[in-house]
Structure 1
Amino acid sequence: MLRRICCFVILITVCYSCKPPVKDTDPLPDLHNTGIYVVNEGNFMSGNGGVSFFDTLTNQVTQDLFFLKNTRQAGDVCQSLNYFNNQFYLVVNNSGKIEVLNDDFVNTKTIGGLTSPRYIAFASNNKGYISDLYGKGVSVLNTLTATIEKKISINYWTEELLVFKDTLYVTSPASRYLYLIDTRTSLLRDSIDIGFGSSSITLDANNKLWILCDGNKDKSILPAMICMDPVNRGIERTIFAADYSSYASKLNFNPADKCLYWIDGDVYKLNTTITGSSKQVAISSAGNNFYGLAINQNTGDIIVSDAGDFSQRSQIYVYSKNNALKWSFKAGLISGYMLVK
């Protein structure tokens, strides 16, 4: 994970002076319709990140929803997007902020004071938890006041987050631990040695946690996928990669077929209902640079982005749960995160 991001930073630093693609004429979308929000990172240090919207009822694409609704750019490296209590939270990594937006995608508050935010997850007590690349910990957000209440120190980069019951699970690409935070008290409760380089996490239909770990060649730890029981915190299954060249990312669970999906060049899947099942190629990259992945939890559709050479608009592909291509459309620069609402 760390090597992949370093290579990516080098590439986009080279490309950052590229002008963004010519802006299309944006149709005014009906955000009450079901759609796919595509988070476009943009070129590093160019401040041209944004959000595209694909209306699945009309097949209409709005290329820069944030700019259309707020008459300004979202910022530098739009990382992720979440929705909680009728508000969107757009995490803008290199700008060190989170844009809070209403149902019409209009800004209501900008949360600053963050170092390099990555992802946000929410607990039922109106608390948000924000991971950070350089901030060495997790920030606690009061969603009622849109202010940072405290910071939970973790001496490493924190990445994807998952809330299950009263626990926040925190991945950490630069350590060998999965960190557990009590969402009732916002205190670090425990850490579990799961290998090295945890980066992506999801929950299956049997409430088992699955975590991707990048491994560490210098420490002779292979990349692996871990299955953990959150009740007894035991590791139930470890699936090692064949070698250190594996760079798996964007782990998702599809309730339609009870399979895990992730990117490692191609899009792979693993059936969680069959003990000892092995991974299969679900969607071949066929020369594409697959970069983002999401699952429509209502339909089972598989949404994958092709970031190309990181200097042209990304191509988004939407496949049915049977892996048949339903739609494809252009989004913005370096589409890495998708939210279906």
Structure 2
Amino acid sequence: MNKNLVNRSFLLGIYLTGSIFLSSCQDDDSGSTVTPLKGAYESGVLVVNEGNFQKGNGEISFINKQSKTVVDDVFLTENNRPLGDVVQSITVNNDKAYVVVNNSNKIEIADANTFKSLGVINNLQLPRYMVVANNKGYVTEWVSFSGNGRVAVIDLATNAVTKTIAVGVLPEKLLALNNKVYVVNSGENTVSVINPTSDAVETTITVDGSPNSLVADANKKLWVLCGGEKNYNSDYTIDENTSTPGSFVRLNPATNTKEATLTFTSKTLSPGDLVANGAGNKLYYQYGGKVYQQDITATALLTTPFINRNFYGIGVDPTDNLIYGGDAGGFAAAGKVVRFNPTGAAVDSFTVSIGPSEFLFK
């Protein structure tokens, strides 16, 4: 056999092998290996857009932070069908996105990176928010607009509801910490503490009226934001004689007791939308149509707003601490997301779908 032919064949084989290797695992300009994306939506910001009540036009938008572009109606684009009526929240676990659709009484499951549908959990009753603990999903359900709500326990391997746990009235956001699940009951003044091993309420903590959101800080303490109990006169104005102001309550999860309470002055205004920065040392919330920033070491509430603007929902990117505000614009047209730097100055904005309210940072 011709020796040169053998050598050329050998070299061609090396070249082809190297080409295949390089095409599957390329280097960037710095010489480091670049891992291919799992999908178009692997890295960026997922925006929850509630949509119009009873119109079935709730959706998820995706913001690419590098290119500063938006892919709107992601689920509809990838699956050729809408998510449903009032998209409430989204949770990502093990590359699966769980989208809670409140008025459609379901959770849509999609690949978190491609947003291709993976299944549906039906027959929930006014579901609100979800967390994952002990390899199970925990979903707050209002059940009705009066009376006690519950938390549905979901087997994430089969997507089946295995149990429901009775909690307080109108359960809202929940948080998993130290192998416990904490649930704020917004229709009363309590936080339910669920043990995810037994899937039972371990204890109930009394806070202040209408708790609506909670976060864990850098010291693993729980901050609960309470809107205050509001009673109304016959003309639908708030009765200040019988109503209570909102408050911040700090809980020690080791003992499930109150450590501190910071009380607002107004009995008519209700603080809400509590979120924290990536380090867990700054808290952000809305109050009186403005956004406030609170240090976790502060012993009094700040009176100067951080951002002098009202939003339908807020979030903080844990990687760069940019603050995101969702402007619903009266639900008459597409909403906007406005970004602010950590000093409170506006950076840029993006057009999204109707009613942007929640943010998930990937």
For the pair 1:284 / 2:308, whether they are aligned, the reply is: yes
Match of 1:216 in 2: 229
* 2:218/2:280 contact within 8 Å kept: no
Deviations 1:40-70 (A, max 9, x none): 1111000011011110011111111110011
Is the aligned partner of 1:94 residue 2:115? Answer: no
Residue 256 of structure 1, CA deviation: 4.7
Unaligned residue ranges in structure 2 (runs of 5+): 1-38, 232-241
**Aligned partner of 1:159 among 164, 172, 183:** 172
Q: Match of 2:276?
A: 253
1:317 maps to 2:356: no
> 5 Å matches for 1:1-341?
30-32=40-42, 34-102=43-111, 103-123=113-133, 125-134=134-143, 136-218=149-231, 219-256=242-279, 258-264=281-287, 265-276=289-300, 278=302, 280-285=304-309, 289-341=310-362
CA RMSD of aligned residues (A): 1.6
Partner deviation per Cα, 1:15-41 (whole Å, 9 max, x = no partner): xxxxxxxxxxxxxx8223x31111111
In 2: Cα distance, 1:62 partner to 1:243 partner: 41
Larger radius of gyration: 2
Counterpart in 1 of 2:5?
none
* 1:68-125 Cα distance to aligned partner (Å, 9 max, x none): 01100100000001101110000000000001111211110100010100000011x2
Asked whether the 8 Å contact 2:214–2:222 carries over to 1, the reply is yes
Name the CA distance, whole Å, in 2 between partners of 1:255 and 1:105.
26
Deviating 4+ runs (over 6 angstroms)? none
CA distance in 1: counterparts of 2:341 and 2:167, whole angstroms: 40
Task: Report if the CA contact (8 A) 1:257-1:321 is conserved.
Answer: no
CA contact (8 A) 1:200 1:211 kept: yes
In the alignment, the residues of structure 2 paired with residue 297 and residue 55 of structure 1 have an alpha-carbon distance, to the nearest angstrom, of 16
Q: Deviations over 1:114-143 (max 9, x none)?
A: 0100000011x2111000122511000111
In 2 relative to 1, CA 256–151 (structure 1 residues): closer, same or farther, beyond 3 Å? closer
Q: Which ranges of structure 1 fall in alignment gaps of 5 or more residues?
A: 1-28
Number of aligned pairs?
308
Q: Distance in 1 between matches of 2:58 and 2:66?
A: 25
CA apart distance, 1:234: 2.0
Report the alpha carbon displacement of residue 318 of structure 1 after superposing the two structures with TM.
1.2
CA 1:313–1:213 in 2, change beyond 3 Å: closer, same or farther?
same
Could you tell me the TM-score, scaled by structure 2's length? 0.82
- TM-score by length of structure 1 reads 0.87
Contact 1:293 1:336 in 2 (8 A): yes
User: Aligned letter for 2:132?
Assistant: F
Indicate if the aligned counterparts of 1:260 and 1:271 stay in contact, CA closer than 8 A: yes
- Taking the aligned partners of 1:155 and 1:237, their CA distance within structure 2 comes to 23
Residue deviations 1:276-305 (CA, integer Å, cap 9, x gap): 4635411111xxx41111111111111111
CA distance in structure 1 between the aligned counterparts of 2:359 and 2:102, rounded to whole angstroms? 16
Answer with 321-330 or 160-169: which moved more. Answer: 321-330
Percentage identity across paired residues of the two chains: 31
The amino acid of 1:213's aligned partner reads C
Write out per-residue CA displacement over residues 299-321 of structure 1, whole angstroms, 9 at most, x where no aligned residue.
11111111121212111011122
Q: Alpha carbons of 1:182 and 1:171: their partners in 2 closer, same or farther (altered >3 Å)?
A: same
- The higher-RCO structure (CA 8 Å, 6+ apart) is 1
Which amino acid is 2:360 matched to? L
Report if aligned partners of 1:87, 1:101 keep a CA contact under 8 Å in 2. Answer: yes
